[in-house]
Structure 1
Amino acid sequence: MNCPSYVFACSLLLASNLALAHAGHDHEGHAKQAPPALHQEKASVRFADVSLLDQHGMPVRLEQDLVGDRLVVMGFIYTSCTTVCPVVSSIMSKVQQQLGGRVGEEVQLVSLSIDPQRDDAKRLQSYARAFQHGEGWSWLTGSPYAVSETLKGLGSFSADLTQHPPLILVGDGRSGQWTRYYGFTDPNVLIAEINRLSARRVHAKSTAIAQEVQP
């Protein structure tokens, strides 16, 4: 990990730990390790046809109601984690702030709890207040079956929730292009990917229009 990225990760980690010091047990599997190495990989995802609950207690289906044809930034957390998960949420918070009004329109943010037995909608709503700024960010839980099937389809399932890696998934619901970002990824990297996917849409639309007007 290069020096700027390490400093970025450590500063986020320190701030998040201070903010959530009152929360439950530590993310023990990561607490003994240095910040994880950054890497990314192209991903193929499958959306399980199950019903989840958002932070308002409303039933939602991830693909139909939230992803659709939007650009998506998705993180995986649980509220009693006080190390890795707050960092992931802080990164997504910075993405939301920098994208501004695009979130809720072109872009959808999603945080999925990997601990559905404890993280009900009320608990997620309370947790979200530390990170969310405005609309366009859904915090999801559900039955253990629904959550595990969703995680398996997204390639982020772990039998031991304390061992799950810090992961943010970025993709285009319209084109089906997805990338997994592991480690404490700089928000600007995620925003650059959102902008790249958005630009591809504009290019594809322009190409289609040009083909239509050709004699």
Structure 2
Amino acid sequence: MKSRALLIAIIVALGALLVWLAFFWQPVAPGPATKNLPHSQLQLAQAPQGGDFTLQGFNGPVALKDFRGKVVLIYFGYTFCPDVCPTSLSLMAQALSSLETAERERVQGIFVSVDPDRDTPEHLNVYAPYFHPGIIGITGSTEQLTAVASQYGASYTKQKPNADGLYAVDHSSITYVIDPNGKLAASLPHASTPQQIVAAVRPLLAAGTSK
């Protein structure tokens, strides 16, 4: 009798742990060790308009139009970010994981690094998928990133390096939701929950692509 009660208690504890992991655990992404550099969240530079763009991924150029027919979640940040980016990507990952398999196949996450001096395509190829295999990392030249950020109203400013040569990048923290036709459908504020992200994605999946 005692053995049965112990077994039930263990099962209940494991179930509670799994629920906590599914909804609250946020991974710390692999990558260069970050110092506790102070940084700030910036407001959008202007109202986002959206639009197509092409940047560089690990396997070559990546264009937004490559994902026509899918809902795309875009986030601008950098891998050395100590807290804001990992939080946002973790929430995106949880949203992707909560979708049905058929839905998840029609959603693509994109992490755009605004720190091309440190975030190479090779490094981004390790960093972004760590949060979820449905997220890719891309970047580009300073000129390319300026143009893409302008399209989406994203703002970012590189701080002056410290004595160790390390620096933070202040940046806005918005998750952009692109519909299957490549149009900007929503701009979700920082710390939007997985449920809020899913609520923005599912109607677009249902609507599909216009002919």
Flag whether TM exceeds 0.5 (same fold): yes
State the secondary structure of the residue aligned to 2:192: coil
Corresponding residue of 1:94: 94
Residue in 2 aligned with 1:130?
130
Q: Which of 165, 169, 181 matches 2:176?
A: 169
Unaligned runs of 5+ in 1: 1-10, 37-41, 206-215
Counterpart Cα distance in 1 of 2:90 and 2:208:
28
Distance 1:112 1:177, change over 3 A: closer
The answer to whether 1:52 aligns with 2:55 is yes
- Conservation of the 8 A alpha-carbon contact between 1:172 and 1:197: yes
Give the conservation status (yes or no) of the 8 Å contact 2:127–2:137. no
- Cα offset for 1:173? 3.7
What is the alpha-carbon root mean square deviation over aligned residues? 3.2
Q: CA deviation at 1:188?
A: 0.7
TM superposition outliers: structure 1 runs of 4+ over 4 Å: 14-17, 19-22
CA distance in 2, matches of 1:149, 1:118: 19
- Asked if structure 2 preserves the Cα contact closer than 8 Å seen for 1:71 and 1:173, the reply is yes
User: Is the contact made by 1:26 and 1:80 (CA closer than 8 Å) also made in structure 2?
Assistant: no
The one-letter code matched in structure 2 to 1:157 is S
- Larger Cα-atom Rg: 2
Partner of 1:180: 187
Instruction: Say if 1:25 and 1:150 are closer, same or farther in 2 by CA, change over 3 A.
Output: farther
Structure 1's 104 and 96: CA in aligned 2 closer, same or farther, altered over 3 A? Answer: closer
Q: Provide the C-alpha distance between the structure 2 equivalents of 1:59 and 1:21, rounded to a whole number of angstroms.
A: 23
Contact map agreement 2:180 2:204 (CA 8 A) in 1? no
**2:207 equivalent among 196, 200, 212:** 200
Deviations along 1:165-193, whole A, 9 cap, x unmatched? 22111120417242111121101101011
Same amino acid, percent of matched pairs:
24
Which residue number corresponds to residue 139 of structure 1? 137
* 2:80 aligned partner: 80
Supply the AA of the counterpart residue of 1:24. T
Q: TM-score when scaled to structure 1? A: 0.68
Structure 2 residue ranges without an equivalent (≥5):
1-22, 159-167
| 1:64 aligned residue | 65
CA gap 1:16/1:138 in 2 versus in 1, 3 angstroms = closer
Letter in 1 for 2:55: L
Cα offset, 1:90, TM superposition: 0.5
Q: Distance in 2 between matches of 1:58 and 1:100?
A: 29
Cα distance between partner residues in 1 of 2:61 and 2:182 = 25
Distance, in Å, in 2 between the alignment partners of 1:175 and 1:120 is 26
